[in-house]
Amino acid sequence: MSLDLTAPRDVSLDHLRYIREKRAYKQKVRVCQVLLLIAALAFWEIATQLRWIDPFIFSSPSRVINTLISLHQEGNLYEHIGITLYETAAGFILGTLIGTAVAIILWWSDFLAEVLDQYLVVLNSLPKIALGPIIIVWFGAGASAIIVVALLVSVIVTILGVYSGFSQVDPDKVKLLKTFGATKLQVLQKVILPASVPTIISALKINVGLAWVGVIVGEFLVSRAGLGYLIVYGGQVFRLDLVMASVIILSLAAALMYQAVVYLEKIITR
């Protein structure tokens, strides 16, 4: 009986080939994404230069760049970006922590979950901007009110999503721990939270967008600084270059924040 000494090497080579193909595929996707963005910007610029669209209404990449340079020279750009980033980060973190904590409480008490179920659904469907005037009166016309708006936009979605993830954990695993005499806290630590990590990460990804929406809505209502303020001000004085520049900065900041969550996911799952 002879041994096939080449089998492990063949498997290893196949595995390396698979890894190379996956990397090449990811690089191809990235290149196509960059090319698509460049093509869109080039078409936008050409369309405004040839007057296919009105540059005053739709602006153009060159005019947006000039606006960004002007804001940089004036020294106001980074102040507005910093204010919006601070408010978004605060709303994002508070929404995630409070939403996860409330979801744990609801999982802990089935009675409380039944009582609050309908209220959570109603609060989730309620347009948060309708509470804007009340929030301004309660918390003042400042960063606190904007953070609260961002918190309200994200917290209910977090509660519902994370609690749903807790409820979908394999009940046989929970029964197994209880059979060995585990307490409810031990079940939470050893089964519920580890099994719900993908759900919590998904909630983080959703909260990135919701936090930005809440902050911009809050800045529309009350702020005198921030990217939302620049958008409102630019619209009022018909400086649409300023509006487009602020929107592009918002898009880049949101994309970077989302990539940070993706990086966190890789670290946790690793």
Asked whether residue 1 is domain-assigned, the answer is no
Per-residue pLDDT, 8: 47
What average pLDDT does the structure give for the chain? Answer: 83
Question: Is residue 20 located within the same domain as residue 145?
Answer: no
Asked whether residue 156 is domain-assigned, the answer is yes
For the chain, how many structural domains are there in total? 2
The answer to whether residue 3 scores a pLDDT higher than 60 is no
Domain extent, residue 49, equals 7-53
Question: Is residue 82 located within the same domain as residue 17?
Answer: no
Per-residue pLDDT, 1: 43
The answer to whether residue 162 scores a pLDDT higher than 90 is no
The answer to whether residue 10 scores a pLDDT higher than 60 is no
Question: Is residue 166 located within the same domain as residue 126?
Answer: yes
Question: Is residue 91 located within the same domain as residue 39?
Answer: no
pLDDT in tens, 177-194: 888 887 888 888 888 888
B/e letters for 119-139, b = 16+ CB within 10 Å, e = fewer, are ebeeeeeeebbeebeebbeeb
- Of 216, 113, 112, whose CA–CA distance to 163 is shortest? 113
pLDDT, average across residues 61-86: 85
Of 82-91, 136-145, 168-177, give the range with the top mean pLDDT. 82-91
Determine the 3-state secondary structure of 219 from DSSP.
helix
Question: Is residue 114 located within the same domain as residue 35?
Answer: no
Question: Is residue 107 located within the same domain as residue 240?
Answer: yes
Largest CA distance in the chain: 87
Sign of CA dihedral 99, 101, 107, 110: negative
CA distance 48 to 46: 5
Question: Is residue 173 located within the same domain as residue 65?
Answer: yes
Question: Is residue 47 located within the same domain as residue 79?
Answer: no
Asked whether residue 118 is domain-assigned, the answer is yes
Question: Is residue 158 located within the same domain as residue 236?
Answer: yes
Question: Is residue 74 located within the same domain as residue 180?
Answer: yes
Per-residue pLDDT, 6: 44
Per-residue pLDDT, 11: 55
Sign of CA dihedral 60, 63, 68, 71: negative
The answer to whether residue 36 scores a pLDDT higher than 90 is yes
Asked whether residue 2 is domain-assigned, the answer is no
Give the CATH number of the domain where residue 162 resides: 1.10.3720.10
pLDDT, average across residues 138-148: 82
**137 compared with 98, residue with greater pLDDT:** 98
Return the percentage of the chain with pLDDT > 90, whole number: 3
